[in-house]
Amino acid sequence: MIAPEKITAIKALMEEASVCEEDLEESFILGGGPGGQKTNKTSSVVRLSHEPSGLAVKCGETRSRETNRWLARRMLAETILEREHLRKSTARQEREKKRRQKRRRSRRQRDRMLKEKHERSELKMSRRKVELDE
């Protein structure tokens, strides 16, 4: 059984991830793995589908269906929050990249770049075919 404090924390996490109970589709699947014959016969694994986000999670960590229901909700909320954080992080990185590209180069950086370009052009000039004047 899950403590009431943990249930409250999971509900707060779901609210933060904007997951409503009405949006969830819950189904129960036969369990498997360690735990003996009883685990393999009972439908204690919980599968949650969240229609708005298109995510589905499956939780069968414990032999208790009720515990798995709450753990699945927590996993779903954490997955949605992680996805949102990744999206924001990617957008922030794109903004930073554009800002760096638009930034003016310092005088030293510009001089170094021009020096490298000059050296490169000299190298290319030395590779040209020699023209003979007649």
- What CATH number did the domain enclosing 23 receive? 3.30.160.20
| Residue 30 parent element (H or E) | none
Residue 109 within a domain: no
Regarding pTM above 0.75, the answer is no
Residue 20 within a domain: yes
**Domain ranges, residue 77:** 4-96
Residue 1 has pLDDT above 90, yes or no: no
Cα(67)–Cα(59) distance, integer angstroms: 9
Residue closest to 42 by CA, chosen among 73, 24, 66:
66
Query: Which of 36 and 52 is assigned the larger pLDDT?
Result: 52
Render pLDDT for 40-83 as a digit per residue (tens, 0 to 9): 788 889 999 999 989 999 998 888 899 999 999 999 999 999 99
Residue closest to 42 by CA, chosen among 51, 54, 31:
31
Residue 119 within a domain: no
Domain total in the chain: 1
Residue 134 has pLDDT above 70, yes or no: no
Residue 133 within a domain: no
Cα(31)–Cα(82) distance, integer angstroms: 27
